[in-house]
Structure 1
Amino acid sequence: MTACWMVRAFVNAEGMYGNPALVVAEPDGASVTSAQRQELATRLGVPATVFVRDADQGRISIHSSYGQSIRFGGHPLLATVEALHGIGRAPRELLPDAGPVPCRRDADGTVWLTAPAAWSKPWRHYRMADAAEIDALTGLPDGEDFTQVWAWEDEAAGRVRARLWAPRIGKGEDEACGSASMLLTLKLGRALEVLHGRHRAVIRTRPVDDSRVELGGRCAVERPAAQVRDAVAALYADG
């Protein structure tokens, strides 16, 4: 059976919810194609599926549930670090399609990565009056798309309340969007604690320089459902 894990990245303060990613450790010599990986990711419907093609080199491919590969994504990369750490293969660098990403896992369980914010999708940012206004949303304000809405919850402490939707690519609400939070960090020029999504996923950010941001959060690992494990096993049995 091909090893795989369901990882919730950016869990909230209670260790609950977060943004799920399926992490698949491909067998040595696997001959599956990018199209086959994408078909599986689309069929399973998990927000991101990460295929670890070479754990020693950190080489991965990321595919979304909405029919597109992902060059760089905060929550799938953090999920991969957590999954590999659990089997004693903690990487210092991952290699998604965008390029090398230094990463680490601190003793308190927080996973960190450092990357250029420009690798993120071109998320828009829309500031709202206060956190309560964001809590009440059921979708984006009129005229917005591909947008992270945000407001200060405690400006002095750097605490932000945020939510995000991207209807034009068929993406509903993103419980925890690390890449948009990286862009917001550069925009505001300071370290942030972003409380994201309906369940207040905790996303931590720190600007490194004028282009790179350190992105962090805690993760929880779960055993995937039987139908997910069976679908992964079938792909590599055929491949």
Structure 2
Amino acid sequence: MTDCLLAHAFMNADGSFGNPALVVVEPEGVSVTREQRQALATRLGIPAVVFVQNLAHGIVSIHGNYGQEIQFGGHPLLATVEVLHRLGTPVKELTPAAGPVNCRRDPDGMVWLKAPAAWSKPWRHLEMESPAIIDSLTELPPGEDFTQVWAWMNREAGKVRARLWAPRIGKGEDEACGSASMLLALKLGRDLEVVHGQQGSIIFAKPVDDVEVELGGRCTVEEPDPATYAQVAELYGDRVKGQRS
């Protein structure tokens, strides 16, 4: 059977908002192509769909809703760690296309991964004068693309306000972009708490050295809606189930 659960990564302190990712744990021996996975992800319209192709070895592929496979993604990988924990199969390493990623789930429910920040897409960063300016945006400032805009909320505490868009790849606003926040933490050389997106999702990013960054956040898991189930079942021949009791 195929496990299929929806997770939200980078929830705020109230357990709200975050960025959704559908996690599909494929059964052994399934014959599904990369093109079929991408077509499903595009149809579903969820920001990211993670296909766990080999659970024993943590091999996954991540596909965006804008027609592209994602080599490395913070929120989909954290979502996968949380889903696998809920399914009783915790993992210490996941391997997307970019390479092996160390991961863990702490007893307090925080989920973490550690990876090279350079695996992220080449996000730009634009510092703005105040969080209020960022709050007022409906799109990126003129001349910007593939950009995370940010401002200090509390410089001493390492707390920033940030939002992100990528029009050139057809990607609208990203409610919680972990990979761009990893790059920002590495650029600033300090631990950050990032209040991200229109709704204010919470991302933690901590440089380990001049290459790797720890990325953390809280996640929730829920059953997908019936329409999502139906489309996943169509690909896997109706062998789809939700959360185990």
What is the identity, as a one-letter code, of the residue corresponding to 2:191? A
Contact kept in structure 2, 1:125 and 1:147, CA below 8 Å: yes
Residue of structure 2 in register with 1:122 after alignment = 122
Query: 1:139 and 2:101 equivalent?
Result: no
Query: 1:48 and 2:48 equivalent?
Result: yes
Counterparts of 1:27-46 in structure 2 under 5 Å?
27-46=27-46
Residue of structure 2 in register with 1:92 after alignment = 92
What is the identity, as a one-letter code, of the residue corresponding to 1:217? G
TM-score (norm 1): 0.98
Residue of structure 2 in register with 1:203 after alignment = 203
Residue of structure 1 in register with 2:242 after alignment = none
Residue of structure 2 in register with 1:13 after alignment = 13
Once the two structures are superposed, residues 147-172 of structure 1 have per-residue CA deviations (whole angstroms, 9 ceiling, x without a partner) of 00000000000000000000000000
Shift of 1:2: 2.3
Residue of structure 2 in register with 1:223 after alignment = 223
Change (3 A) 1:5 1:238: closer
Once the two structures are superposed, residues 184-212 of structure 1 have per-residue CA deviations (whole angstroms, 9 ceiling, x without a partner) of 00100000000000111100011001010
Contact kept in structure 2, 1:12 and 1:199, CA below 8 Å: no
State the identity %. Answer: 67
Task: Indicate the SS of the match to 1:3.
Answer: strand
Residue of structure 2 in register with 1:58 after alignment = 58
Give the distance between the partners of 1:5 and 1:87, measured in 2 at CA. 10
Shift of 1:63: 0.3
Q: Which runs of 5+ in 1 are unaligned?
A: none
Shift of 1:133: 0.7
Give the distance between the partners of 1:180 and 1:115, measured in 2 at CA. 13
TM-score (norm 2): 0.96
Task: Indicate the SS of the match to 2:182.
Answer: helix
Shift of 1:13: 1.7
Query: 1:108 and 2:120 equivalent?
Result: no
Q: Which runs of 5+ in 2 are unaligned?
A: 240-245
Shift of 1:106: 0.5
Give the distance between the partners of 2:23 and 2:115, measured in 1 at CA. 20
Once the two structures are superposed, residues 4-47 of structure 1 have per-residue CA deviations (whole angstroms, 9 ceiling, x without a partner) of 01100001121101000000010110100000000000000000
What is the identity, as a one-letter code, of the residue corresponding to 2:166? A
Give the distance between the partners of 1:152 and 1:13, measured in 2 at CA. 19
Residue of structure 2 in register with 1:163 after alignment = 163
Give the distance between the partners of 2:75 and 2:237, measured in 1 at CA. 28
Shift of 1:107: 0.8
Give the distance between the partners of 2:143 and 2:11, measured in 1 at CA. 30
Task: Indicate the SS of the match to 1:17.
Answer: coil
Shift of 1:238: 8.6
Give the distance between the partners of 1:17 and 1:4, measured in 2 at CA. 20
Give the distance between the partners of 1:160 and 1:89, measured in 2 at CA. 34
Shift of 1:56: 1.3
Give the distance between the partners of 2:238 and 2:8, measured in 1 at CA. 28
Task: Indicate the SS of the match to 1:132.
Answer: helix
What is the identity, as a one-letter code, of the residue corresponding to 1:218? R
What is the identity, as a one-letter code, of the residue corresponding to 2:102? P
Shift of 1:236: 1.1
What's the C-alpha RMSD, in Å, of the aligned pairs?
1.1
227-236 vs 176-185, greater mean Cα deviation: 227-236
Task: Indicate the SS of the match to 1:38.
Answer: helix
